[in-house]
């Protein structure tokens, strides 16, 4: 005789307790969801949880410096050239001279 839905659910719940399975949930933005879709398509692994479990296991095998580099998120560094700083300063002076009353503070040069 076939098992009922409740019997199958109870058996699955018991199995999850036996292996101490835990459900982790997190929210992602569309870009991450799209990346996960591309990874799943390329790897032929259909379930997101399986992809994440494999990724975590592989990261656990990495050396500390390799893992740190892998997990570092690329950040943009903004560098202002001397020409741009000078132009900005000159334009600021023009604005101040057009509307007197504010004090003028000279910028420190990089050699100070």
- Give the pLDDT confidence score for residue 22 in this predicted structure: 85
pLDDT, position 55: 92
Longest dimension (CA), the chain: 93
The answer, yes or no, to whether residue 110 has pLDDT greater than 70, is: no
Which tokens is 45 given?
């692994």
Query: pLDDT of 70-104, one tens digit each?
Result: 999 888 888 999 999 999 999 988 888 887 666 66
Instruction: Determine the Cα–Cα distance for residues 33 and 41; give it in Å rounded to an integer.
Output: 12
Model confidence pLDDT, tens digit, residues 24-79: 888 888 999 999 999 999 999 889 889 999 999 999 999 999 999 999 988 888 89
> pTM (2 decimals)?
0.52
Residue 68 has a CB neighbour count (10 Å cut-off) of 10
- Average of per-residue pLDDT across 12-24: 87
Report domain extents, the chain.
9-71
Position 73 scores a pLDDT of 82
62 touches 77 (CB < 8 A): no
- The predicted structure's pLDDT at residue 111: 59
Tell me the three-class secondary structure of the chain, residue by residue: CCCCHHHHHHHHHHHHHHCCCCCCCCCCCHHHHHHHHHHHHHHCCCCHHHHHHHHHHHHHCCCHHHHHHHHCCCCCCCCCCHHHHHHHHHHHHHHHHHCECECCCCCCCCCC
């Amino acid at each position: 005789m076939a098992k009922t839905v409740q019997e199958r659910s109870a058996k699955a719940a018991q199995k999850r307790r036996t292996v101490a399975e835990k459900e982790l949930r997190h929210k992602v933005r569309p870009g991450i969801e799209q990346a996960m879709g591309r990874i799943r398509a390329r790897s032929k692994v259909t379930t997101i949880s399986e992809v994440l479990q494999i990724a975590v296991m592989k990261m656990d095998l990495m050396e500390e410096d390799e893992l740190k580099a892998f997990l570092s998120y690329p950040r943009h560094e903004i560098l202002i050239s001397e020409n741009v700083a000078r132009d900005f300063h000159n334009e600021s002076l023009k604005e101040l001279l057009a509307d007197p009353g504010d004090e003028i503070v000279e910028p420190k040069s990089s050699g100070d």
